[in-house]
Amino acid sequence: MKFLCLAYYDVEALKTAPKDEVKATVSQCPPRDAALRASGHLLAQASLGIPTATRVIRPRRGRKTVLDGPFTEAKELVGGFFIIEARDMDHAVEIASLHPAAELGESMGWGIEIWPISRYDEIEPRAAAPTS
């Protein structure tokens, strides 16, 4: 099974955290990221850009509308993501626990959300709708 793992952070907590604390925490990430890669279960990994650089596309009155993002107003924002391969959710939790956000950055609101995913071509096709 594939799982999408979203790495979150608390916007205000990160803004107000002492720069030295942020730097010390972030400096611990590369070896932990390496452990995640070494697990052999990591399929993709990336950090996201700053929220003010995002755009949102929404249909409005039959037309595409592009807005400044992020769309949601939230205390926590997604700062990165990774996709892993695991036997089941328990195994996914074990693997995702290797990510830095699982153990570091508590004062900055770091955390991980794990979602089971499937690719479109792995979904069984639906029965065709009856025609009149």
Q: Please indicate, yes or no, if residue 48 is contained in any of the structural domains.
A: yes
Low-confidence ranges of the chain (pLDDT < 70): 71-73, 120-132
Q: Please indicate, yes or no, if residue 131 is contained in any of the structural domains.
A: no
Q: Please indicate, yes or no, if residue 126 is contained in any of the structural domains.
A: no
pTM given for the model: 0.80
Q: What are phi and psi of 104, to 5 degrees?
A: -105, 170
Q: CATH number for the domain including 70?
A: 3.30.70.1060
State the total domains in the chain.
1
Domain hosting residue 23, numbered range: 2-119
Note the pLDDT tens digit of each residue in 19-48. Answer: 999 999 999 999 999 999 999 999 999 999
Tokens in use for 108? Answer: 């900055």
8 A C-beta contact, residue 9 and residue 76:
yes
Q: Please indicate, yes or no, if residue 107 is contained in any of the structural domains.
A: yes
